[in-house]
Amino acid sequence: MTADTASGVDGHQMLDFVGIGFGPSNLALAIAVMEHNAEPGVTRPVTAEFVECKPEFGWHTGMLIPGATMQISFLKDLVTQRNPQSEFTFLQYLTERGRLTEFINFKTFFPTRLEFHDYLVWAADKVTVPVRYGTRAVSVRDVDGAFEIELTGEHAGVLRGRNVVIAGGLTPHLPPDVSPSARQVHNHGFLHDLERLPSREHNRFVVVGAGQSAAEVAAYLHDMSEATEVHGVFAKYGYSPADDSPFANRVFDPDAVDDFYSAAPGVRRQLIDYHRSTNYSAVDLPLIEDLYAREYAERVAGRRRLFLRGASSILKADESDGGVRVHILHHPTGDIDELDCDAVIYATGFLPAPLTDILGELHGDLVLEAGMPVVSRDYRLTTSRDIAGGLYIQGNTEHSHGLTSSLLSNIAVRSAEILQSIDARRLDCVAGPAVGTQSLS
């Protein structure tokens, strides 16, 4: 439901919480709210509203590369691990789309990202909690025992809430010496940026990075036409496989969050290091094998247009009207190759989105440890003084809650935990004691 059709939303209503960002994390939370409010015996429904700066729901649309598959099982959808009987399961989506039997025959746990995107859009369309699309939250203020969330854009104004749930996602990270332009782009907007490319004089692309996205982009460009040349550049000697084996996969289990949260900082770091290859700088093995087969076939045919340059990095990239001249350093030999290409795509990862952009001055009240916000087990940011209510955060808690934090794997269970915390503290307030604040004490 969009805010236009929401009833009783006038910017002055006191909501139980305001959700900032409407990607999968807060979408899962919105569904949890709907299902909670529909439970028999709920006398005081939880009131909430969400804001999303995009004009409509979209999940990393610049990377919806045809054929690219999910890296988690479809059973880790928005709800199943919290409520397998929900109307919002991936299986229910398939049923409504008339594809359940066909999907079963497909014998996969890993649908394409295009199909999962369609599932998420289907779910977002069914949600009845109001969402203000085209609207950005620019600050959160603590005023008279409540939060005021300032909004700009299509539904500009102020929302008031007892709590805030921030799920703003991650920010694309470029190497420090790169100035983004039409020809030097982060992979996050890849498909959109490719369409907007000013010209393609060279039919040659450079893709930087050794992770899943880099490999997907390289394969997509290589498929684009028989004339396109692709150079993958990365510091590793070769792509290495993502570890999705069953024991390692337990690091994403709901219970793993408890283990991680209770562990000492050294143990947390160790666990992340051991299992980094489940998520970072790693590629699904079938894609590695596919790229290898392509490169080998070109060697046999004697006509190369896919070059995977391991142990290498970009020394400099000089841009002109017609393209980018890239200087590629081969680390072992020190050799430098110069290539004229149409664009450089940097698949160089993401960083936590800065909370300052959303919290404004309130950010100064957060307690930090080693530069990272201190977060309680129920995903509340810890503040150095009593503030209006809970500032909850989804994603960006890898340092405290483990590797699953920025992924989809735990969003069904995490939404339930956040909602339960908001509800419990709300009911405590009704019962009497002043628990609408949170501080270190």
Ligand X SMILES: Cc1cc2nc3c(=O)[nH]c(=O)nc-3n(C[C@H](O)[C@H](O)[C@H](O)COP(=O)(O)OP(=O)(O)OC[C@H]3O[C@@H](n4cnc5c(N)ncnc54)[C@H](O)[C@@H]3O)c2cc1C
Of 326 and 358, nearer to ligand X (C-beta) is 358
**Which of residues 33, 72, 219, 314 is near ligand X by CB under 6 A?**
72
| 313 near ligand X, rule: CB under 6 A | no
Residue entry with tokens 């030999």: 333
Helix (H, G, I), strand (E, B) or coil at 73: coil
Q: Considering the rule CB under 6 A, would residue 137 count as an interface residue with ligand X?
A: yes
Q: Please, which residue, 28 or 388, has the CB nearer to ligand X?
A: 28
To ligand X, the closest distance from the beta carbon of 397 in angstroms equals 10
131, 137, 356, 373: CA torsion to nearest 10: -20
Residues 341-360, one symbol each (x = binds ligand X by CB under 6 A, - = not), give -----------------x--
Helix (H) or strand (E) holding 336: strand 336-341
- Residue 256 found at the interface with ligand X (CB under 6 A): no
Among 53, 256, 328, 381, contact with ligand X (rule: CB under 6 A): 53
- For position 24 contacting ligand X by CB under 6 A, the verdict is yes
**Binding residue (CB under 6 A) for ligand X from 18, 33, 51, 341:** 51
Tokens of 414: 């995490």
- Does residue 353 contact residue 215 with C-beta atoms inside 8 Å? no
- 139 part of the interface to ligand X, by CB under 6 A: no
Within 161-190, the residues that bind ligand X by CB under 6 A are 167-170
Q: Name the segment binding ligand X (CB under 6 A); options: 56-64, 139-147, 240-248, 327-335.
A: 56-64
Q: Cα–Cα distance between 171 and 191 in angstroms, integer?
A: 17
User: Which residues 185-244 are close enough to bind ligand X by CB under 6 A?
Assistant: 213
- Beta-carbon-side half-sphere exposure of residue 251 (alpha carbons within 13 Å): 22
Determine which residue in the list 82, 136, 155, 162 makes contact with ligand X, applying CB under 6 A. Answer: 136
Q: How near is the Cβ of 163 to ligand X at its closest, in Å?
A: 16
Binding flag, residue 79, ligand X (CB under 6 A): no
When the beta carbons of 92 and 410 are compared against ligand X, the nearer one is 410
Instruction: Measure the CA–CA gap between 63 and 67, rounded to whole angstroms.
Output: 11
Q: Does residue 317 touch ligand X according to CB under 6 A?
A: no
Tokens of 76: 């880790």
Backbone angles phi, psi at 235, to 5 degrees: -80, -30
Torsion of CA 351, 166, 168, 45, to 10 degrees: 150
Q: Does 419 bind ligand X (CB under 6 A)?
A: no
d(CA 417, CA 82): 10
Count residues binding ligand X (CB under 6 A).
31
* Residue carrying the six token digits 């028989």: 226
CB of 297 closer than 8 Å to CB of 226:
no
- Give the one residue of 35, 49, 52, 229 binding ligand X; rule: CB under 6 A: 52
Closest approach of Cβ 281 to ligand X, in Å?
14
Measured torsion, CA atoms of residues 17, 22, 25, 28, in degrees rounded to the nearest 10: 80
Question: How far apart are the C-alpha atoms of 391 and 377, rounded to whole Å?
Answer: 13
Picking from 83, 82, 101, 93, the residue whose alpha carbon sits closest to that of residue 118 is 93
> Any contact of residue 21 with ligand X (CB under 6 A)?
yes
Q: Using alpha carbons only, what angle is made at residue 373 by residues 369 and 376, rounded to the nearest 5 degrees? A: 100
Q: Give every strand in the sheet of 312-320, ordered side by side.
A: 312-320, 323-330, 336-341
Least distance from C-beta 298 to ligand X, angstroms? 27
State in angstroms the smallest separation of the CB of 39 from ligand X: 25
Min dist CB 253 to ligand X, Å, is 13
Interface mask toward ligand X for 378-417; x: CB under 6 A: ----------------xx----------xxxx--------
Contact set with ligand X (CB under 6 A) = 20-26, 51-54, 59-60, 63, 70-72, 136-137, 167-170, 213, 358, 394-395, 406-409
